[in-house]
Amino acid sequence: MGSKHRKGMERRTFLKSVLGAGAASLMAPSLLGSRASAQAAPAANAAARYARSLDWAGPLTPSTRLTASHWGAFLAQVEDGKLVGVKPFGGDRAPVPMLQALPGRVYARSRIQYPMVREGFLKKGARSDRSQRGAERFVRVSWDDALDLVAGELERVKASYGNASIFAGSLDWHSVGKLHNAPTLLRRMLGLFGGYTDNTGDFSVQAAMTILPHVTGNIEVYDQQTAWPTIIENTDLIVLFGADLIKNNQIGWTPPDHYAYPALQAVKERGIEVVSVDPRLTDTARFLDADWVALRPNTDVALMLAIAHTLYTEKLHDEAFLKRYTVGFDKFLDYLLGKSDGQPKTPEWAAKITEVPAATIRDLARRMARGRTMLMGGWAIQRQDHGEQAPWMLVTLAAMLGQVGLPGGGFGFSYHYASGGAPAANAPVLSGISAGDNPVKTAIPFAHGVSDLLLNPGKTVDYNGEKVTYPDIKLVYWAGGNPFSHQMDKNRLIQAWQRPEVTIVHDIFWTSSAKFADIVLPVT
């Protein structure tokens, strides 16, 4: 559709046509990502298993609906138009208790039921007292008035400041599916409106996803991992760095089939040795009876450097692998041995930082070199200042062991997430709806924080080898998410949230972000 046609569209019609940006359902229909068993079955057998899975969970009837969530697929039991219960999808290998909370969420008292506008904003618009966000009462308005108000604010801000002043901040988890993805649909709407300031990266893995393409050539954190059957057959030792597979594999960006849980049971039954490097004694460490290396938080890099020092000084590293498949090890070695800074990264040096005994560090290094070792890094280790150093160092350790590419060896960064080690089916996957083109090419690094963006228009920051300049944001549009739950320093965020002239939120519940909005639209 050309721009001349868009100009002729009534603003209410335009908003109604794309309001689905926020109407991404709590329990959205979804095309499940395919997973294959260790030995792929013929299509006929797969179809038979699928049919049996439905019988196991209860047959599909006029009162049941097959749908999905971030906690797994399920059958929704509907009676007289009301959700009365859920049953796990039969293909789910280990249904999680979270599913049973869904009926309560649907009918929770905190649901947003009507379009609401902050009282001061309804009276004065952008001239209202923004310090009253989060404190002032809301007034119920009709859908027609709400849509006119949203469309009018979008047009006003665009005409006065340009599309770069509109921030499509959503990067959250309220919905699943190929269509029902609120952040994508919001961007699709605003792209058709002329563009918006976007963000790049995400809050989960910003540091890792930025550095790893420079180190390995891949993003790694969302890539296919070495399959669990390969690990179970070949691996002697698994070392977990800040990864709790049992707790975190309950959820997934797409509906999970929870493949990881029977895989972990197989790891336990085979007797594969496991070491958990973590400040906490995790559920995974308990289940696998792992050796626990309890280091101080955010000292993983120091520990890994000391392991590398032991591998090198005791000639346990794979020199041939390093020469053939890596670049830059000589520069790293100068730092490791203290030639560049005068401080060898010995276990004794690391012990003072990590509070892990030097003898424990040396023992772990020797165990890692003794057999086939898989290093599994969690995302927690990169959620810190200079967070890129931890995944980079973990890959360096794997390279020193020389087992990258060997069955059951190497490294992975997604075993704790969405059953990352499940074998992928050798079949095409239908892609989801796209956000379309964004005429505004400004994208700010998400992990720098919404507060930094809103409080510092014109500020230039370094990101991934480039300079990024913050625009002056006048309108924040958030659909299907809650930045007040994941942004650091809430008091600073409250201060920053007062700067834009208007904030618009689509949500299911009265989250903190909804309570701090000017215009709130309910979704279902």
| Res 174: pLDDT | 63
Q: What angle do CA 419, 421, 425 make, to 5 degrees?
A: 90
442 contact partners, CB below 8 Å, separation of at least 6 = 164, 197, 198, 468, 469, 471
| Res 255: pLDDT | 86
Separation CA 464–CA 9 (nearest Å): 40
Nearest to 391 by CA among 216, 202, 239, 235: 216
Residue with tokens 């955010």: 298
What tokens does 408 get?
């059951």
Q: What angle do CA 238, 213, 380 make, to 5 degrees?
A: 45
Q: Give the residue range(s) of CATH 3.40.50.740 domains in the chain.
A: 3-25+112-203+431-522
Mean pLDDT in residue range 323-332: 98
Q: What is the mean pLDDT of the chain?
A: 88
The secondary structure of 188-216 as a DSSP string is HHHHHTT--BEEES-TTTHHHHHHHHHHT
| Res 66: pLDDT | 81
Q: What angle do CA 349, 350, 354 make, to 5 degrees?
A: 140
Nearest to 91 by CA among 432, 427, 433, 425: 425
| Res 60: pLDDT | 54
3-state secondary structure (DSSP) of residue 400: helix
Does position 49 have pLDDT exceeding 80, yes or no? no
For residue range 336-345, list pLDDT tens digits in order: 999 999 999 9
| Res 201: pLDDT | 85
CATH architecture assignment, domain 225-412? 3-Layer(aba) Sandwich (3.40)
| Res 26: pLDDT | 41
Across-strand partners of 504? 477, 519
The secondary structure of 295-326 as a DSSP string is PPTT-HHHHHHHHHHHHHHTT-S-HHHHHHH-
Mean pLDDT in residue range 454-476: 96
| Res 341: pLDDT | 97
3-state secondary structure (DSSP) of residue 468: strand
Q: Give the residue range(s) of CATH 3.40.228.10 domains in the chain.
A: 225-412
C-alpha distances (whole Å) from 264 to each of 268, 281, 415, 465 are: 6, 17, 11, 39
| Res 345: pLDDT | 99
What tokens does 454 get?
């809103």
Does position 34 have pLDDT exceeding 80, yes or no? no
| Res 177: pLDDT | 66
Mean pLDDT is lowest, of 108-122, 169-183, 431-445, for 169-183
Tell me the Cα Rg of the chain: 26
The secondary structure of 7-48 as a DSSP string is HTS-HHHHHHHHGGGT---TT----PPPB--SSPPPHHHHHH
Q: Which residue has better confidence, 375 or 180?
A: 375
Does position 3 have pLDDT exceeding 70, yes or no? no
Q: Which residue has better confidence, 57 or 519?
A: 519
| Res 427: pLDDT | 80
Identify which of 39-48, 253-262, 325-334, 475-484 has the greatest average pLDDT: 325-334
DSSP state of 412: E
Separation CA 187–CA 363 (nearest Å): 51
Separation CA 358–CA 135 (nearest Å): 54
3-state secondary structure (DSSP) of residue 523: coil
| Res 48: pLDDT | 42
Banded pLDDT at 362 (limits 50, 70, 90): very high
| Res 208: pLDDT | 96
Mean pLDDT in residue range 474-502: 93
| Res 52: pLDDT | 43
Separation CA 99–CA 72 (nearest Å): 8
Q: Which helix (H) or strand (E) holds 185?
A: helix 182-192
For residue range 189-218, list pLDDT tens digits in order: 999 999 999 999 888 899 999 999 999 999
For residue range 376-406, list pLDDT tens digits in order: 999 999 999 999 999 999 999 999 999 999 9
For residue range 54-90, list pLDDT tens digits in order: 444 455 565 677 888 889 999 999 989 899 999 999 8
Banded pLDDT at 419 (limits 50, 70, 90): confident
Banded pLDDT at 430 (limits 50, 70, 90): confident
Nearest to 414 by CA among 249, 255, 286, 234: 249
Banded pLDDT at 424 (limits 50, 70, 90): confident
For residue range 496-514, list pLDDT tens digits in order: 999 999 999 999 999 999 9
| Res 449: pLDDT | 84
| Res 45: pLDDT | 42
The pTM assigned to this predicted structure is 0.86
Does position 50 have pLDDT exceeding 60, yes or no? no
CATH topology of domain 3-25+112-203+431-522: Rossmann fold (3.40.50)
